Amino acid sequence: MNDGTTTERPEHSQGGTYTVEGQEFVRDANYISTRITRDGEDGYAVEADRYRLIAARACPWANRSIIVRRLLGLEDAISLGMPGPTHDERSWTFDLDPGGKDPELGIERLQEAFFARDPEYPRGITVPAIVDTRDGAVVTNDFAQITLDLSTEWAAHHREGAPRLLPEDPAERDEMDSVMRRVYTEVNNGVYRCGFAGSQEAYDEAYERLFTALDWLEERLTTRRFLLGDAITEADVRLFTTLVRFDAVYHGHFKCNRNKLTEMPALWAYARDLFQLPGFGDTVDFAQIKEHYYVVHTDINPTRIVPAGPDLRGWLDPHGRESLGDDPWGGGTPPGPVRDGEQVAAGHSPLSPA
C-alpha cells in the first residue's frame, strides 16, 4: 500500500537518513560524495596522517570501514575516532573519550565536522565519515565508496601482504558487484525494511525478500568458503557486518525471526569463519551494538531495555570450512595485533573476555 504520505523517522545516523513512504522504509542515499584520490581530483589528495576516519563500532556501515582499514594495514595512514554507541537527534557524540571530545579533532559531536564543511548541512550526521584534520571538515560520508577507495586510491599505504579485496579480473569484479548489490538491497538494507516497516503489508514483503536472499546465500556458501570463492573480498566484509548483528539485534528487535543465524548451517559456519579471522571479529563490540539499537530506536523499543542475550560463546566454535579453501588471504597475510587504543573493551566480545 502507498497512500502517498512521507513520515520522517529518527534513525538518521547509520548509513543515511530515511523516511517511511507509504509505510515502506526508504533509505536516503544522498551523501557527501567527495573522494580522496591519488590525483586529488576532488580537492583531497591521498596523504598519510592527514585524515581521520570516524566510525562507531555499533553501526554496520561504519564497521565495514573499520574492518577494511585493518585488513589493509592503514592504521598508520588514517587515524580512527570512535563515537559512543548512542546518539540523539543531533549527532553521534564522543562520550567514550576523555572529556567527551575526540582527542584529535577536539569536537564533542560529529555534527561539528559536518557543519565545518557546510554550516547549513541539511541531512543526517552519519558514520562512517572521513574528516580532514587540517580544517576539521568532513570530506565524505559515502560509506560504500569509502571502502572501495581504501582498496584502490590508498594502495601505496597498504601493509605488505594486504589481501586484495577487489578482484582484478573484470568478470570476477562484475560478479562481485552483482553479489554486493543483492546483499545490500535484500540483506544489509532488508533488515531495516523489516524493522521500520509502517504496515503489515510492507513488513511481510520485506520479510519475504530478506529470507529469500538469505536462502540464496545459504545455498551459495554451501559449496564455496567465501562469496567469490577461496579468498575474502569486499563482498564478504559487507555481508559479515549484517550477519554478526543478526541474532543479537535483527532477529528480535527488527522482527527478522523466521529463524536465527545459528539455524542456517552454511551461513552460521561462514559467519564464524570470518569472525575468527584477524580483522573481522576483533572489530566487533556486541555490547555497543545492542546498546545502540535498543536504546536509540525508542519508537521500536520505548522502554530502552537492552536484552541480556544471546550467548556469544558459539562464535568461537570450530567452523570446519577450511576444506572449501585453505587460503582466506588470497596469497597475502593476516593483519597483526589490534593497535593499542583500538581494542574492543573487555567483556564486549568472546574475543575480549572480562
Residue 97 predicted with pLDDT over 60: yes
Helices (H) and strands (E) in the chain, counts: 10, 7
Q: In this predicted model, what pLDDT tens digit does every residue of 293-343 receive, in sequence order?
A: 999 999 999 999 999 999 999 999 999 999 999 999 999 999 999 999 999
Residue 18 predicted with pLDDT over 60: no
Quickly tell me which residue has 572480562 as its cell: 354
Q: In this predicted model, what pLDDT tens digit does every residue of 129-165 receive, in sequence order?
A: 999 999 999 999 999 999 999 999 999 999 999 999 9
Q: In this predicted model, what pLDDT tens digit does every residue of 209-265 receive, in sequence order?
A: 999 999 999 999 999 999 999 999 999 999 999 999 999 999 999 999 999 999 999
pTM of the model: 0.94
Average pLDDT of the residues of the chain: 93
59 catalytic residue (yes or no): yes
Q: In this predicted model, what pLDDT tens digit does every residue of 22-46 receive, in sequence order?
A: 577 777 778 999 999 999 999 999 9
Domains along the sequence of the chain with CATH: 170-324 (1.20.1050.10)
Q: Spot the catalytic one: 44, 59, 250, 293.
A: 59
Q: What is the pLDDT of residue 14?
A: 53
Q: What is the pLDDT of residue 21?
A: 55
DSSP string covering 321-338, please?
GGGG-S-TTTTS----SP
The rounded distance, in Å, linking the Cα atoms of 180 and 189 is 12
The rounded distance, in Å, linking the Cα atoms of 13 and 293 is 12
- Runs of H (alpha helix) within the chain: 60-72, 111-117, 143-152, 170-182, 190-195, 200-220, 234-245, 251-253, 265-275, 286-296
- Confidence label for 4 from pLDDT (cuts 50, 70 and 90): very low
- What's the one-letter identity of residue 36? I
| % of the chain surpassing 70 pLDDT | 94
Instruction: Give the residue-averaged pLDDT of 267-272.
Output: 98
Q: What is the pLDDT of residue 23?
A: 78
